[in-house]
């Protein structure tokens, strides 16, 4: 009897704890749910019958029917045991690309530092030429000494030009056909240029400018600037009429310059009140005819105001040189222009060498003047440089 009561109390306490949430039964979640069959539970008597003191058998249910778990509103804190080590984070692994197998290299035997040559240095028996501060061509010591000697003598071997870069070689002088003409020519050509310059104006077709008259005509000059071309007789007549003008005026119907009887105003231009005769030659009519023919009596020039007279041509010592000379002088001028560079002392600029010397050209722009033999040697040493250098 006491056992029955004890079992009942245990069962009721277990149920109370379940209801209070102190104990939670977590049923494992099976892959395939299995139905739970509740067994028949015997009826527990509430009163103890009288009779013998033999305890009735206690019927214990084979299984306890599942009680649904009570989920608390606030989840209880999870206590991590101190003895459980933290789980390290999972680091994803990345497959490395396949590479070629590493072939081990075999190091060359080390050369002792005392015997290893320095790149760029000269082999035994050679030294840097040092024709300039950066000249590292390896040459015999004698060539180095020669280069230094040539450098020291460089200035004394350049050609001298007392008259500047256009100084002429011996036997030539500046032509001076125009101001600044430094073409070197012989003395007789220079003299010819001076003579042609002096005669230039007299050799032009339009000797007196654009109003130059054709042959057989002259300017009338009835007034200042009158360039109407007339016969020499008309020119003389105009001069005579001008001289007699005052004696042919009277005060009359046309003012103080009214002409006397037998004379009329000439009117070579508007306002020309010189009185001229009307017979035996009508000078007034002649004047009007000369004015009308003026343009046809002027000399024409297809080459402009600097056109030369027959037998002459432009010299053209420079493009705009229009001095009129003979054909032979023009040809000579062209030849002298073509030879100009070869006739100056400084034929190759300020570094031109004196006679008997040439540029060494140990490098591009090396204008030290040396003998031809040294120049040849320098070129050979330049070509041999790689074989003489470590």
- Per-residue confidence (pLDDT) for residue 101, from 0 to 100: 54
Residues with Cβ within 8 Å of residue 226, at least 6 apart in sequence: 219, 220, 268, 269
- Per-residue confidence (pLDDT) for residue 71, from 0 to 100: 46
Q: What is the DSSP letter of 174?
A: E
What percent of the chain shows pLDDT beyond 90?
Answer: 65
Of 3-7, 169-173, 281-285, the poorest mean pLDDT is in 3-7
* Distance (Å, whole) CA 238 – CA 272: 12
- Per DSSP, the residues of 228-295 read -EE-HHHHHHHHHHHHTTGGGEEEETTEEEEEPTTEEE--SSTT---EEE-SSS-HHHHHHHHHHTTG
Residue found under tokens 């939670």:
24
- Per-residue confidence (pLDDT) for residue 109, from 0 to 100: 59
pTM of the model: 0.54
Q: What is the DSSP letter of 22?
A: S
pLDDT in tens, 313-367: 999 999 999 999 999 999 999 999 999 999 999 999 999 999 999 999 999 999 9
How is the chain split into domains, by residue range? 127-158+353-388, 213-298
- Per-residue confidence (pLDDT) for residue 17, from 0 to 100: 66
| Alpha-carbon 165 to chain mean position | 31
* Distance (Å, whole) CA 41 – CA 44: 9
pLDDT in tens, 77-99: 444 444 445 555 554 554 545 55
CA angle (325, 327, 331) in 5-degree steps: 105
* Distance (Å, whole) CA 67 – CA 164: 127
């Amino acid at each position: 009897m006491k056992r029955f009561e004890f079992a009942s109390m245990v069962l009721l306490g277990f149920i109370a704890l379940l209801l209070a949430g102190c104990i939670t039964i977590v049923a494992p979640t099976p892959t395939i749910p299995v139905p739970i069959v509740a067994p028949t539970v015997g009826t527990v008597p509430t009163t103890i019958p009288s009779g013998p003191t033999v305890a009735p058998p206690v019927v214990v249910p084979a299984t306890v029917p599942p009680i649904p778990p009570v989920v608390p509103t606030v989840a209880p804190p999870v206590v991590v045991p101190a003895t459980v080590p933290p789980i390290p984070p999972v680091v994803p692994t990345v497959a490395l690309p396949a590479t070629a197998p590493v072939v081990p290299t075999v190091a060359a035997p080390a050369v002792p530092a005392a015997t290893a040559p320095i790149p760029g240095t000269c082999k035994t028996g050679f030294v840097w030429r040092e024709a300039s501060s950066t000249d590292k061509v390896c040459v015999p010591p004698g060539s180095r000494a020669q280069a230094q000697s040539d450098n020291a003598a460089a200035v004394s071997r350049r050609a001298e030009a007392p008259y500047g870069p256009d100084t002429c070689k011996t036997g030539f002088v500046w032509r001076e056909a125009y101001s600044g003409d430094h073409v070197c020519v012989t003395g007789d050509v220079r003299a010819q240029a001076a003579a042609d310059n002096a005669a230039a104006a007299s050799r032009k077709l339009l000797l007196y400018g654009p109003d130059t008259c054709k042959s057989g005509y002259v300017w009338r000059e009835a007034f200042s600037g009158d360039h109407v071309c007339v016969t020499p007789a008309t020119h003389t007549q105009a001069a005579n009429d001008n001289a007699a003008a005052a004696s042919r005026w009277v005060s009359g119907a046309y003012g103080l310059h009214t002409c006397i009887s037998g004379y009329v105003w000439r009117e070579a231009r508007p306002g020309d009140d010189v009185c001229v005769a009307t017979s035996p030659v009508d000078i007034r009519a002649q004047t009007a005819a000369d004015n009308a023919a003026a343009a046809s009596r002027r000399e024409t020039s297809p080459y402009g105001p600097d056109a030369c007279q027959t037998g002459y041509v432009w010299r053209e010592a420079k493009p705009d040189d229009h001095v009129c000379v003979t054909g032979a002088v023009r040809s000579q001028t062209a030849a002298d222009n073509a030879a100009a560079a070869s006739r100056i002392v400084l034929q190759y600029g300020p570094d031109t060498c004196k006679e008997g010397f040439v540029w060494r050209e140990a490098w591009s722009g090396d204008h030290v003047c040396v003998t031809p033999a040294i120049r040849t040697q320098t070129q050979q040493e330049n070509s041999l440089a790689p074989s003489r250098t470590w």
